[in-house]
Structure 1
Amino acid sequence: MAAVLLLSACGNSGNAGGNAGNTAGNAGGKSLGDQVKHEIIGIDPGAGIMKAASAAIEEYGLSDWTLIEGSSAAMTATLAKAIKSEQPIIITGWTPHWMFAKYDLKYLEDPKKVFGEAEEIHTVVRKGLKEAHPEAYEFLERFEWTSDEMGEIMTAIQEGQDPAEAAKAWAESHSDRVDAWTADIQPVNGDTFKLSYVAWDSEIASTNLIQYILESRLGYKVTALQVEAGPMWTGVANGDVDATAAAWLPLTHADYWDKYKDQVEDLGANMTGVRTGLVVPSYVEANSIEDLK
């Protein structure tokens, strides 16, 4: 999921000696902002985390920082480059994400709760889906899994495996989980079904898994549309898309939920305990967003 803030390392404001704003060993003693030119680089403007990042700039008095639109792929590439050279960097990160398995990262504390408490990923479907596709509806209503399970697919994809193949391999090696989700559901005969999702690593993993199960276990012919968050919600609300398993609530997609909640059906959380916020490599001394001043 979401945005990236390329900041620089900063000392903890509570460190003895007034070390706030600097990282141990910084060349020339440059401040956090100076090291990264006070640029905050995010992802697509439709992502709720971009709104939260803008709010954080205001709430924490980071008036010198500029939020710049970007992409998830650019963020992880920049993160990898920074970590390789042990340079300070701050990203607006989220879990589940494969980067937490690959790198030693930490969230910055958010005492003002701008990024909210832990979130959930929900499955949202179009009105009338239960009557039109009861088999798919039953499966989607049962579908729930853990961040560790999702992480297995995300890591495989990050290491170069095709998303569809990674999802298939996971389903085959966790057949007991798939059996529980599909037990006693009668397969259909080639009925068409349409999913939508945003191009976040977590949603790529979940949507490919759902597509594989719908096709291999339940007999559907599935189309999966990768779109921005706005069209994802609009498609389900208008009935052009049958379902999405990529609704981050209550914060990330709050605006879309407020707008479309009466036009869609929420089947509940397919994953709990997810989180968004500002993330840094462990070697960065900052521990709180307040330190970024």
Structure 2
Amino acid sequence: MRVTEEAIDTYGLDFKLMETSGPAMTATLQQSIEDNEPVVVTLWSPHWAFADFDIRYLKDPENVYGEAETIYPMAHEGFSEKYPTVTRWLNNWDMDDQSLGGLMSVIKDVGDPTEGAKKWLEDNRNLVNEWLEK
């Protein structure tokens, strides 16, 4: 929350910071959108909320929150030699924040990570086939 307090101060915002849990924050976001009320939340990408709601990042010209970060897949030494098919698939796998957010949204809606991933795979079979065919 320290960085958000710094952002409020840096930009001279007349906002009240409410420290809550992630689920409480997204519940407030959903209720505010349903009530057509303005709301600012501290989300990150990827996140399912970007798939479920029409939300956007606010500009941060002072770079209070820092630069964007990247997610990198990693494996133990020797993985590529032991699992060349999986390695090829991982090298072809390409999901942007929007796609990952969509996957996360399906998992949230289904309520089980394995079943949610299966549903997402079924719903996105063409994309998955592209990864597998390369």
Normalised-by-shorter TM-score class:
0.5 to 0.7
Aligned letter for 2:7?
A
**CA displacement at 1:91 relative to structure 2:** 0.7
State the match for 2:71 in structure 1.
121
Q: Which structure has more RCO (C-alpha within 8 Å, separation ≥ 6)?
A: 1
Indicate the percent of aligned positions where both proteins have the same amino acid: 36
TM, length-normalised to structure 1: 0.36
Q: Is the 8 A contact 2:107 2:117 kept in 1?
A: no
Q: Secondary structure at the match of 1:126?
A: coil
State the match for 1:112 in structure 2.
62
**CA displacement at 1:55 relative to structure 2:** 5.0
State the match for 2:93 in structure 1.
143
Give the Cα–Cα distance (whole angstroms) in 1 for the partners of residues 78 and 6 of structure 2: 37
State the match for 1:56 in structure 2.
7
Aligned letter for 1:129?
F
What is the RMSD of the two structures over their aligned residues, measured on CA atoms? 3.5
Q: Is the 8 A contact 2:110 2:116 kept in 1?
A: no
Aligned letter for 2:119?
A
Q: Is the 8 A contact 1:97 1:154 kept in 2?
A: yes
Match status 1:178 vs 2:128: yes
Give the Cα–Cα distance (whole angstroms) in 2 for the partners of residues 59 and 126 of structure 1: 43
Q: Secondary structure at the match of 1:75?
A: helix
Q: Deviations over 1:203-256 (max 9, x none)?
A: xxxxxxxxxxxxxxxxxxxxxxxxxxxxxxxxxxxxxxxxxxxxxxxxxxxxxx
Q: Structure 1: 5+ residue runs without aligned partners?
A: 1-41, 43-50, 185-293
Residue pairs, 1:184-203, within 5 angstroms = none
CA gap 1:75/1:181 in 2 versus in 1, 3 angstroms: same
Match status 1:166 vs 2:109: no
TM, length-normalised to structure 2: 0.65
CA gap 1:100/1:174 in 2 versus in 1, 3 angstroms: closer
Structure with more helix by fraction: 2
State the match for 1:92 in structure 2.
42
Q: Secondary structure at the match of 1:92?
A: coil
Give the Cα–Cα distance (whole angstroms) in 1 for the partners of residues 30 and 17 of structure 2: 22
CA gap 1:57/1:179 in 2 versus in 1, 3 angstroms: same
Q: Is the 8 A contact 1:82 1:88 kept in 2?
A: yes
Aligned letter for 1:104?
D
Structure with more strand by fraction: 1
Q: Deviations over 1:36-91 (max 9, x none)?
A: xxxxxx6xxxxxxxx743653565477x97674x4322211122233344444321
